[in-house]
Structure 1
Amino acid sequence: MSTFPRTPRTQRGAIIGLDPLNPVASLVVFQYNPDTMTRTLTPQMAGEGGGDRTEALRLKGAPVENIRVDVEIDATDQLANGDVLASSMGIYPQLSALEMLVYPKTAQVILNTALMQVGTLEVVPPTAPLTLFIWGPKRVLPVKVSEFSITEEAYDPSLNPIRAKVALGLRVLSYNDLPLMHPGYALFLTHQVVKEAMAVVGSIAGLANAALPR
């Protein structure tokens, strides 16, 4: 038991794939928050590639941000507590919810196959759901999955996985990537506004600390 009864409850990160026709198909709240998260930002500069020198410091838009996280999923506690779902399926449902972020919907695949069979000239590829990476209230980011690796580490007698590590590579989608009326456009813009406010707070705190006597 914690010796600090007023310690706030830690929020859990999550990945959500928004599908209006099946809103809970890809909803994964992290069982354990990853200990680390790697974020790589690549600036988008207009003056790259030997262009006009007067454009050297001009920004074309938000940087390209890639995120890497390792997520652990473990059914040990649920199995010990007699959880019916964990006993019958292990963590297969949780893994499937993550995997559905990169699968087209079956109904759309069948429809496109039927359209091709009747000679439709142009069949539009299925669109992935709007995927959100949520890491606290200040970071709700539209992303697309760029890498996905699952290491299954233990199984029940029916060969359902009961412990696994999932390595995720996520590419943040900014207003450079999305049309104006797309909900992800507004989400990223809000994220940047919050980041600008945090930068002001950090700058003021840095000045205050620099002014303190050593």
Structure 2
Amino acid sequence: MAVELNYVRAAFIAYEPGGYPDRRRVIPFRVNPESLSRTVAAEGGQRPAGVESGRGATPPASGEAPADAAAAAVKHSFTVQIRLDFADRDPALTNLDEQYGIAPDIAAVEDLMYPAQTDADASSDGTEAVRAASPRPTVLLVWGRKRVLPVRITALKIEESVFNTELHPVRAELEASLEVLGEAEAQADLAVRSALDDLGARRRELARMYYDNTAAQGSNILPL
């Protein structure tokens, strides 16, 4: 991975379209590790030739394997609780106007759900013909030093609980629903490809560690 993992807290790293690995934005945040909820699900696999779905469908011929998870893509999704508190803000962020509380922090996370602004958009005066919307930035979820996932934010629930005298929030909790990107996105995005390759390698490494250390216990397992 080309990403430098110098974070004690979790973080989103966002790359502008075509900006990997140089043009990136970093949004660190405090999390409650107990709040991470993951779902790993297999999509419906392709049906064998000659097999149709629905009423009256032809059953598979004898000896022909039905569609199952082995032929399916695996979808991986997360729900992450993000805590933002003005009191926890990095002292290095001295240029942020205090009157806005954590409104800039919230806006930075929200902005990941919108198409990235290109240089042409920034210099536009609004009189040009309508252009196709830019793609959203590529987002990596950094969850510790050895787990980096390319994700799409599918939903964001924001609970603002404390406000300053300007009615800007100074404390909030965000519930971010994330979907891990897959092979389709990796074909055209080097950041996604790199993160997926690293994630798969680490998953297999951990699984091998488990298998290697439990093989010796086979004598204690009932024969199959």
TM-score bin, normalised by smaller chain? 0.7 to 0.9
- Equivalence for 1:69: 80
- Equivalence for 1:38: 37
- Equivalence for 1:92: 103
CA RMSD of superposed structures (Å): 3.3
Alignment partners' CA distance in 1, 2:163 and 2:26: 23
Alignment partners' CA distance in 2, 1:181 and 1:32: 28
In structure 2, relative to structure 1, the CA distance for the partners of 1:203 and 1:161 (3 Å cut) is same
Deviations, residues 44-101 of structure 1 (Å, cap 9, x unaligned): 35256758542434634541011001111111356xxxx7847332111211111110
- Equivalence for 1:7: none
- 1:182 Cα shift? 3.2
- 1:159 Cα shift? 1.2
- 1:208 Cα shift? 3.9
In structure 2, relative to structure 1, the CA distance for the partners of 1:77 and 1:205 (3 Å cut) is same
Alignment partners' CA distance in 1, 2:189 and 2:108: 27
Kept in 1, the 8 Å contact 2:42–2:69? The answer is no
Pick from 158, 164, 169 the counterpart of residue 150 of structure 1.
158
Does 1:11 pair with 2:8? yes
In structure 2, relative to structure 1, the CA distance for the partners of 1:33 and 1:11 (3 Å cut) is farther
Aligned length: 195
- 1:18 Cα shift? 1.2
- 1:199 Cα shift? 0.8
What's the % identity of the aligned pairs? 22
Secondary structure at the aligned position of 2:177 is classed as strand
- Equivalence for 2:208: 200
In structure 2, relative to structure 1, the CA distance for the partners of 1:208 and 1:11 (3 Å cut) is farther
Residues 123-134 of structure 1 correspond to what in structure 2 (within 5 A)? 123-134=131-142
Secondary structure at the aligned position of 2:14 is classed as strand
Pick from 186, 200, 203 the counterpart of residue 194 of structure 2.
186
Does 1:59 pair with 2:70? yes
Kept in 2, the 8 Å contact 1:38–1:67? The answer is yes
In structure 2, relative to structure 1, the CA distance for the partners of 1:41 and 1:114 (3 Å cut) is farther
Secondary structure at the aligned position of 1:162 is classed as strand
Kept in 1, the 8 Å contact 2:185–2:192? The answer is no
